[in-house]
Structure formats: structure tokens, C-alpha cells
Structure 1
Amino acid sequence: MKKVLFIDRDGTLVIEPPVDFQLDSLEKLEFYPGVFQGLSKIINELDYELVMITNQDGLGTDSFPEETFWPAHNKILQAFKNEGIEFSEILIDKNFPEENAPTRKPRTGLLNKYIYGNYDLANSYVIGDRATDIELATNLKSKSIFIGENNEIATLVTTNWNEIYLNLKAEPRKVQITRKTKETDINIELNLDGSGKGIFKTGLGFFDHMLEQISKHGNIDLKVEVKGDLEIDEHHTVEDVALTLGEAFLKALGSKKGIERYGFLLPMDECLAQVGIDFGGRPWLVWEADFKREMVGEMPTEMFMHFFKSFTDTAKCNLNIKAEGENEHHKIEAIFKAFAKAIKMAKTQTDNYSIPSTKGTL
């Protein structure tokens, strides 16, 4: 799911003319200090789509006809394009003076595409210089950045575009995913940039212990809460946790810009587990691990392969898993620890901010 920066134009990208607040001539055009440097770093290094919003008061009225609006507006767009900064969409509200129109900020009529589309609004931002911009963020259930001196609601208040960039760069890759069927009710919270904290309530003690290995050794924060039909068996709980966890990783990784992408091997006593992972967008599982026991704790050993296969399906990753040894508990725990270490490597962010593929997309 895509994250978006909904950026108000006047007072944020350009300085709003102080006398009449109307950018109706090229002579009045002045760019906000630091905006080019800040947005360049954001678009090159981070994973946000840029959307410009303006409801310049008076657009299309006799006092401020459209022909006075477009020269300055087009000059703004060209200046940003010259610096490699392009907006995926330009949203202009022409409903003034209809102040109660559904498209007028802070109402969300202009943004239905993003409300009902495949967008991560919870981790998106509205950036603006007016209270209505921050109210728009509240209505979208997104975060907000207020460019100005004082706002008690905004996530960040600043007048510095470099501070905006640093704030966005420091944002952890966090998601929350729920999955509810007639068989299971699952809630997963994942923070790829965590510190190894975990909470696990699946109803299966050994399964909780294995999920804890992912959190601890993957250096991620992970919370998994499940209400499953364990009175039938363990199958639905294990499978649906894997499917939901894979979806969480897919969402948290976003476009995968700047990650290592690959990860790899772990000995545990007499066992050796090898796990190779590739978050390359193509689900596949190679499984070379046999178990002599039917159960480990409350977990059927046949479910371990099914867990990783289900994870690859929704995470859209390639997993190659091999394990050998005598102790079945050690063997499966080694697999989960190696899996966690592989994830830790693959999710690592690098100083190369491109997509890690010659295709340019993953």
C-alpha cells in the first residue's frame, strides 16, 4: 500500500502573498525556503507519493480569473520538475465561493481516490499552513505537518523543510493488519525498525515460542493475537497467522526502496538450518526438512512447512529452507531463528536509495 504526502500549495511549497493572499501573477511567486532540497531528499530516499492540493480562493471568479492563476501555477510545476520533483496528481478545487462544498478542505471530497483506493492513509501525511489542512488530516485519519509557529493537533510543527525530511526519514516501518474469518480472528502489529519486543497469544505455546524467535532474532517488534478454532485443530490458526504476517511484511516494506532485499544460516547444537530469503515479489518455497515426530509441543510438524508456504504467498517472497539434525525441537527452532536472521538482513536499509532490482520495481 502506498503512502502519500498531501501537500497544500500556498504557504507550503510557495510563500503566500502577504497582502491579498492571491498568487495571481508571476511577480508574486516566491518559493518556500528549502522546499527544493527537502522534497528532493524525500522523493529520492523515502517511499511517499506526492499529491499537490490547492483551493486558491477566488479561482475562476471575476476578481481572480483562471487566466491569472495558470501562469504562476504552471511555473511552479515546471520549477519542481526541473529539480526531479513530480507530483503524481494535482488536485484543484474550483468550488469557491461555495465554502460548504464537499471538495473544500477540510472536507475530503477531492480525495476519494485515496480514501477508497489501495493507500496507507494511517502512515500518510497532510502538509499545510492552515488549520483546515490539519483538520483534513484528521478527517483522513492520517498524520499531519503544520508549517507555521503553533498548532496543537499536528504531528509536527515546523518552518523548516529539512526538519520535515528528517522527521519522515525517522518514521518506523510500522503496520497493523487484522484478518477475521469464521475460523480465526487475528490482529498483528509489526514494526520492522523495532528492537525485538514481542507479544504472542495464539493459544499454541510452542507456536508462540517460534514467533518469539522471529521477533527477537529479526530485531523487529511483533504482536500477534489470535482467537482460533483450536477445538477443531491447529491448522487454521497456524495458516492464517502466516498469511496475515506475510501481508504485514508486504505492506511494511512498501516499494522496497533502499533495502538489502536478500538475507541468509544458523547452527543450533547438533542442528544446522539454512534459510535464504528474497523479498523480490515472487512467492516460492523450497523446503528440505524432515521430522520424525508427529508433534512438537501442541504443533503438528507438518504445519511448519505450511506456515512458511503461507507466508511466502502473501509476503510475495522466495524462501529456501534446509535443516538437518537429530533433535526435532532444535531443528525447527533453528529454522525459525535462521528465518529471523534472514529477515533482519533483508529488511536492512542501505545508503543506496534505489529499488534493489534491475527491473526498477519489485
Structure 2
Amino acid sequence: MKIAFLDRDGTLIFEPPDTKQIDSIEKLKILPGVIDGLKKLQADGFQLVMVSNQDGLGSATFPKKCFTAAQNEFLKRLKKEGIEFYKICICPDRKEDNCNCRKPKTGLVDSFLKKENINREQSFVLGDRATDMEFAQNIGVAGFKMQTNGAFPRIATVQRTTKETNINIACNLDGQGNFRIDTGLGFFNHLLEQFSKHSLIDLAITARGDLEIDEHHTIEDTALCLGECLAKALGERKGIQRYGFLLPMDDTLVEVAIDLGGRPYFIFDAKFTREYVGDMPTEMIEHFFKSLSDALKANIHLKVRYSKNTHHQAEAIFKAFSKAMRQAVDADPRAPNILPSTKGIL
């Protein structure tokens, strides 16, 4: 079972900056993208679980009937759209009460986690506070942080299991460059961390491959999974910049151009003077991006103009690609929800 653990106030509905309470139906405002985002998660097989701290719920300053009226109306509106929560967990305590159920503590979900067969590598927490990210860490799933009262982020997960590898990837295109990556290959981890950091795409990657044979299958299948995950998060690719970079790193200059137009093509112009950097074969860098291009359905042109250091060359390639991706996936404020093509499809 895949679970999307979702915060409520500031994540799904508008949180008033002054009172931080939604205590009437009049204050209920569903945030942009929430309906479509939740529908997409359900269609992708996620069960939705709400986990929310409601300070002083049931007190004189926050009567339970006021909360219930707004909460029921929220759930009613979602149900009309075909969206239902598998479980709803509410903590009514204040921080000073020092209870065991208030996030980031896990008391609200401990029994649920023990009872249900949850795929933690494919599950995640979405919230707008640091405590939500701590909560994600405490229950052993990826954490995706969004801006308070911001638009619902573009999130996707992919799992690929073969006789050679088992890959789990979760991504948030609208992230902050946070990552949790373990492929069993130190330098490959480092390059993927660079991609996340410089693209601002949150990534959670766990890859288990037949490294006792060689590195090929692990790197190739991670690339295929990553491309598929990014493509899934992009969805119909409406409202994106679409195109995206020259990036210098000491002695190295790399040029990357990308088009997320839905047609894969790949040009790679780089020569390596070392067979390995750390535990990663340099020949697999080209193969990684070719596999990524195919799965992402992207046109990628990558050229190393000059370099004297193979480590810098490999790292600059991933950083330049990251910057190009960041530019290409960013929302275009002048063309929201508009497909960046005259063909009518990407």
C-alpha cells in the first residue's frame, strides 16, 4: 500500500496567518491545485491519510463544533470530486501539552503503521512545516516540503523490480533540492545529489542492484526510473517553460540544452580520460543520460566544451543538466495551464 500522508492547514486549505485556525465554513479555502493533485495521487494508487495538529481543539478559543463544521464541508467538497481519505488523524493538543500524538511525534499513526502493509519507499509526507519533515523522518518515508498556502506540488513515485534491480524513486518537481539517495555506488549517489540540489527537485531514491556483477544495471535502471518519475510528475506538461545551460566548474565548461517536448533524442559529446571516478564507470554517464532521455521523452544535447579533470567533468555534466531541468520544469507565470506547443499535445 502506498500512502500520501498529508498535512491539512497551509497544505490543502488556506491557513489564516493571524489565528492559524479554520473555525468556520467562511474561512474554508481550498488551495490551488489541491483537487487535481489529490485526484492524480488517487489515480496513481495512493491512499490519502490526513495528519494534522489542531492546537487547542475543543477549548473555549477553538470549539470542536466550529472545527467540525469546516472539516465536514471540506470533506464534502472533496467527495464531490471523487476524493476520499483512507484515514484522518487529528491531534487536539498544544505543544506545551507534550503529548505523544502531536507531529513530529508519531502517536497519531503508530497503530496504523503496524496494522497496514505500507510500502514506505513509495510513500511520502507532504506538509508546509519543518515538523512535517521531522514527522516523515520519524516514520521512515520521504518528506516533501511546500510553501505555506502555496500551490499543490507536482509529485510522483515509480517502482521498478527486475531480476537484476529493485528501484524506488519519489520526486517533487516543486521542491527545495532535498534528497535521500542510496544506490550502493558512492560517486553515483554524489552525482544524483548534485542533480537534486541544483534543480531544486526533491528526490528520494533507493536502488538495489546486482553490483556483484557490475554497475551497469543499477545505473541504467535508476536512469530509466528517474526519467519515468519526472515524466509522471510533469503530467500533461502544461504551463512549463519547456526549454532549458552553460555551467563552468574550475577547468571545465559544460553546455546542456533540453526540450521537454515529448520526443526523446540524445546527443552526447564528451571524452573521459579515466575509466572510473570513485566506484562509477565513466562510460555509464553517457548511458545514464541516454536512458533518462528515453524514459523522460526529452531531447537532451550535452557537450563538454573543455576539461582537464574527469571528476569535475562528471560533476559539471550533472550540475548543468540540473540547471537546465530546473529552468525547463518551472511554471511559466505568463502561460499558466497552457501547453507550450502549437500542436496541442506534448
Q: Shorter-normalised TM-score: what interval?
A: 0.5 to 0.7
Other-structure match for 1:213: 194
Provide the aligned C-alpha RMSD in A: 3.9
After TM superposition, give the deviation of residue 122 of structure 1 in Å: 3.5
Query: Where does structure 2 lack aligned partners over 5 or more consecutive residues?
Result: 1-25, 50-73, 89-125, 127-146
Amino acid of the residue matched to residue 325 of structure 2? Answer: I
Other-structure match for 2:76: 129
Shift in CA distance, 167/355, structure 1 to aligned 2, threshold 3 Å: farther
Point out the more displaced range, 257-266 or 231-240: 257-266
Other-structure match for 1:347: 329
1:250 correspondence with 2:250: no
1:283–1:315 CA contact under 8 A, matched in 2: yes
Shift in CA distance, 120/328, structure 1 to aligned 2, threshold 3 Å: same
Shift in CA distance, 341/280, structure 1 to aligned 2, threshold 3 Å: same
> CA-to-partner distance for each residue in 1:66-87, whole Å, 9 max, x for gaps?
xxxxxxxxxxxxxxxxxxxxxx
1:184-333 correspondence runs (5 A): 184-323=165-304, 324-333=306-315
For 1:137, what is the secondary structure of its paired residue? coil
2:187–2:277 CA contact under 8 A, matched in 1: yes
Structure 1 Cα separation of the partners of residues 302 and 78 of structure 2: 53
Shift in CA distance, 260/207, structure 1 to aligned 2, threshold 3 Å: same
2:35–2:78 CA contact under 8 A, matched in 1: no
2:75–2:84 CA contact under 8 A, matched in 1: no
Within the candidate set 336, 355, 358, 2:318 is matched to 336
Other-structure match for 1:87: none
Structure 2 Cα separation of the partners of residues 314 and 210 of structure 1: 19
Amino acid of the residue matched to residue 329 of structure 1? Answer: H
1:264–1:345 CA contact under 8 A, matched in 2: no
After TM superposition, give the deviation of residue 170 of structure 1 in Å: 1.3
Structure 1 Cα separation of the partners of residues 231 and 292 of structure 2: 10
1:63-212 correspondence runs (5 A): 119-120=43-44, 122=46, 129=76, 137-138=84-85, 170-212=151-193
Amino acid of the residue matched to residue 137 of structure 1? Answer: E
Structure 2 Cα separation of the partners of residues 50 and 329 of structure 1: 42
1:39-54 correspondence runs (5 A): 48=36
Amino acid of the residue matched to residue 46 of structure 2? Answer: A
1:175–1:191 CA contact under 8 A, matched in 2: yes
The alignment's TM-score, normalised by the length of structure 1, stands at 0.58
Shift in CA distance, 134/321, structure 1 to aligned 2, threshold 3 Å: closer
After TM superposition, give the deviation of residue 138 of structure 1 in Å: 3.6
> CA-to-partner distance for each residue in 1:312-362, whole Å, 9 max, x for gaps?
111100100001211111111110000000011001101212101111211
2:245–2:256 CA contact under 8 A, matched in 1: yes
Structure 1 Cα separation of the partners of residues 343 and 38 of structure 2: 22
Other-structure match for 1:361: 345
Amino acid of the residue matched to residue 356 of structure 1? Answer: P
For 2:181, what is the secondary structure of its paired residue? strand
Other-structure match for 1:69: none
1:256–1:355 CA contact under 8 A, matched in 2: yes
After TM superposition, give the deviation of residue 301 of structure 1 in Å: 1.0
Query: Where does structure 1 lack aligned partners over 5 or more consecutive residues?
Result: 1-32, 52-113, 144-154, 156-165
1:173–1:253 CA contact under 8 A, matched in 2: yes
> CA-to-partner distance for each residue in 1:267-291, whole Å, 9 max, x for gaps?
1111110011111000111000011
After TM superposition, give the deviation of residue 46 of structure 1 in Å: 9.1
Other-structure match for 1:81: none
Question: How many equivalent pairs are there?
Answer: 241
Q: Which has the larger radius of gyration?
A: 1
For 2:322, what is the secondary structure of its paired residue? helix
For 2:46, what is the secondary structure of its paired residue? helix
Point out the more displaced range, 188-197 or 304-313: 188-197
The alignment's TM-score, normalised by the length of structure 2, stands at 0.61
Amino acid of the residue matched to residue 44 of structure 2? Answer: D
Shift in CA distance, 130/308, structure 1 to aligned 2, threshold 3 Å: closer
Amino acid of the residue matched to residue 285 of structure 2? Answer: F
